[in-house]
Amino acid sequence: MIINYIFQTNSMELVAFLGKDKENWGQLKALVSRGQWENVVVVKTKEAEEFELGNAEIIKIDSDKPLTDLKDDLINKLRTKLKDFEVALSIASGTGKEHMAILSALLTIPVGVRLVVFTKDGIQFVN
């Protein structure tokens, strides 16, 4: 059973993955624009180059790399961007390989991870 929690985003950092699946980009845009995040870091692939967000730090990655290389690249890039010990993470966009790399990188840094989603009821944690 999954329990959804509506929450306040004040003082949380958001890390979101943006892949080439354009049908999920609106969800991410709503999540970023409707939350009051302390910091927003968007990790995006080269296929998502046209997606723009003015209030987010962008980390570009090469998803063609092997999973472990992608993870190491994300650790190096994310470590300098994050300030808190826990982040909200959106993985509504992307592939399983990309999700594994970003989740593994965050846990290695280490930071706690709260999965977050934007639904018709607003911003919600799903864990």
Confidence of residue 10 (pLDDT cuts 50, 70, 90): low
Is 25 within 8 Å of 9 (Cβ atoms)? no
In this predicted model, what pLDDT tens digit does every residue of 18-41 receive, in sequence order? 998 888 888 888 998 899 899 999
Residue in 110, 112, 102 with CA at minimum distance from that of residue 67? 102
Q: Is the pTM of this model over 0.95?
A: no
Query: What integer is the mean pLDDT of 88-115?
Result: 96
Domains of the chain from N-terminus onward = 5-125 (3.40.50.2000)
Where does 35-116 have alpha helices with state H?
67-79, 96-108
| Cα 3 to Cα 32: distance, rounded to the nearest angstrom | 22
For residue 5, the model assigns a pLDDT of 43
Mean pLDDT of the chain: 89
Q: Is 35 helix (H, G, I), strand (E, B) or coil?
A: coil
